[in-house]
């Protein structure tokens, strides 16, 4: 069947009480609308058109990035008006029009395909998905006649008598055939909100003698719509539980799944252990048999096999070699890369630097814009002074170098292979291979200074 999908994304989202357009609010690092676009793309439909609000250019930017079509609903006059705008844009399209909402991120391609298949098999004029809600409050109820045929959708505020007991509700996902599409222009403005509701199409089509089918195949969780921050948090937990459950089936241990956040594009190897309070975001990859301790945040980074990331460390845009140890309380900024068996200890910060196999910086150091070789020891309090106030400069430390504590390396500078830098030195020139570099003022002792000082203060 020739089908196009219309994604309704023009809502103002006033109940979100956020300056961000509702469909751009983030769920595990991705906009709500992106979930719906991804599900739509996997259905094999001919076209995808998103209806947007003119006051939300950033929504249009997301749509363009996904290379799908869009049109604008100039005034917020309801769902039926949004569909009419899409129909004007699609003038000449022949086929079924699937309607989905841009604020339902849990919707699956499988469910959308099921509706397409059932609609085509039934050869009906209008079809939609329904589900049975535990608490149907706020949902539009599916009203059927004595023979079980759908005759309308009644909103919560309009329910009377026995209608309040109905548990079958509207999912908001339709397929509209050409005959039913012609009736959209006959939908009347709702007197309460002054909007045109697409739900009225069911009763219009039924009265017109069209074949309307409601397929009760949905689940409440899958069609969960986001209208508030509380609902966004609930949806995020549902998605998160599914992601973590999938990892646990593959052999990843989570000590407290409810306290962890793992984004959908993250990969974690079997045998790894994730402690409470861990955030793994973006497209991060955690290798096999690694341990991520409490309070760690990893963003768009790769952690090698058998690596430990200790408590309260932050890793962003970095690559960690296998068998390494990071932290506790370390920070790796974007562009950091370590080899195998590297130790980056407590209160060490790296930025745009590479450290080769077997090297270590165990305490209280800053390593920025540096290239560090193998088996190098960086003493506590060492700083690569990479910025002169105008531009950044590179520090190069070759293999087997020992850097004593409290050393300042004033870039650009190169430390040759096997060299030693004495503690407390400020290095401003290149150091030859295997040399010992010392840069200190001579120590002096002033005898009886404390006694004389006290006498002077009397």
Specify if 204 maps to a domain.
yes
Identify whether 363 is a catalytic site residue: yes
Specify if 245 maps to a domain.
no
Q: Which of 255, 263, 363, 393 is catalytic?
A: 363
Specify the number of domains making up the chain: 1
CA torsion through residues 80, 84, 89, 92, sign: positive
pTM value is 0.88
If phi > 0 it is left, if psi is from -120 to 50 it is alpha, else beta; for residue 146 that is alpha
Q: Which of 155, 158, 180 is nearest to 169 (CA)?
A: 155
Specify if 382 maps to a domain.
no
Domain that holds residue 100: 3-216
Dihedrals phi, psi of 196, to nearest 5 degrees:
-105, 120
DSSP conformation class of 227 = -
Specify if 412 maps to a domain.
no
Specify if 234 maps to a domain.
no
- Burial (CB < 10 A; 0-12, 13-18, 19+), residue 236, is middle
Domain containing 63 — which CATH number?
3.90.550.10
Specify if 393 maps to a domain.
no
Specify if 244 maps to a domain.
no
| Residue-level pLDDT, tens digit, the chain, 458 residues | 789 999 999 988 888 888 899 999 999 999 999 999 999 999 989 899 999 999 899 999 999 999 999 999 999 899 999 999 999 999 878 899 999 999 999 999 999 999 999 999 999 999 999 999 998 988 999 999 999 999 999 988 888 888 888 999 999 999 999 999 999 999 999 887 889 999 999 999 999 999 999 999 999 999 999 999 999 999 999 999 999 999 999 999 999 999 999 999 999 999 999 999 999 999 999 999 999 999 999 999 999 999 999 999 999 999 999 999 999 999 999 999 999 999 999 999 999 999 999 999 999 999 999 999 999 999 999 999 999 999 999 999 999 999 999 999 999 999 999 999 999 999 999 999 999 999 988 888 888 776 555 555 55
Specify if 185 maps to a domain.
yes
């Amino acid at each position: 069947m020739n089908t196009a999908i219309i994604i309704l994304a023009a809502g103002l989202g006033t109940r979100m009480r956020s300056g961000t357009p509702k469909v751009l609010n983030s769920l595990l690092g991705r906009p709500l609308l992106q979930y719906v676009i991804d599900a739509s793309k996997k259905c094999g439909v001919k076209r995808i058109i998103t209806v947007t609000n003119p006051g939300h250019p950033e929504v249009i930017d997301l749509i363009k990035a996904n290379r799908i079509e869009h049109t604008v609903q100039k005034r917020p006059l309801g769902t039926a008006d949004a569909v009419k705008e899409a129909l004007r844009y699609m003038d000449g399209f022949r086929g079924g029009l699937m309607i989905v909402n841009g604020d339902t991120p849990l919707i699956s391609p499988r469910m959308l395909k099921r509706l397409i298949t059932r609609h085509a098999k039934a050869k009906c004029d209008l079809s939609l998905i329904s589900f049975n809600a535990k608490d149907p409050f706020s949902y539009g109820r599916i009203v059927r006649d004595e023979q079980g045929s759908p005759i309308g959708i009644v909103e919560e505020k309009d329910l009377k008598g026995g209608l309040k007991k109905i548990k079958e509700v509207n999912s908001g996902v339709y397929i509209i055939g050409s005959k039913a599409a012609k009736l959209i222009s006959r939908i009347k403005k709702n007197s309460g909100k002054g909007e045109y509701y697409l739900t009225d199409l069911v009763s219009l089509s039924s009265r017109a003698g069209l074949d309307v089918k409601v397929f009760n195949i949905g689940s409440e969780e899958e069609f969960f719509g986001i209208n508030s921050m509380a609902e966004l948090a609930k949806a995020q937990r549902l998605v998160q539980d599914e992601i973590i459950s999938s990892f646990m089936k593959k052999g990843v241990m989570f000590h407290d799944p409810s306290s962890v956040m793992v984004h959908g594009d993250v990969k974690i190897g079997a045998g790894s252990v994730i402690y409470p309070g861990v955030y793994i975001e973006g497209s991060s990859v955690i290798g096999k048999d690694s341990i991520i301790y409490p309070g760690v945040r990893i963003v768009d980074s790769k952690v090698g096999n058998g690596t430990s990331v200790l408590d309260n460390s932050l890793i962003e845009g970095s690559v960690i070699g296998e068998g390494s140890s990071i932290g506790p309380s370390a920070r790796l900024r974007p562009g950091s890369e370590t080899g195998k068996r590297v130790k980056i200890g407590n209160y060490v910060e790296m930025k745009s630097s590479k450290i080769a196999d077997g090297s270590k910086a165990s305490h209280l150091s800053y390593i920025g814009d540096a290239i560090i070789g193998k088996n190098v020891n960086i003493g506590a309090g060492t700083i690569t002074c990479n910025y002169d106030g105008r531009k950044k400069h590179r520090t190069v430390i070759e293999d087997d170098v020992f850097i004593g504590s409290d050393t300042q390396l004033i870039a650009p500078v190169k430390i040759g292979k096997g060299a030693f830098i004495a503690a407390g030195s400020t290095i401003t020139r290149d150091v030859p291979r295997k040399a010992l570099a010392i840069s200190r003022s001579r120590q002096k002792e002033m005898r009886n200074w404390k006694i004389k000082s006290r006498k002077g203060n009397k």
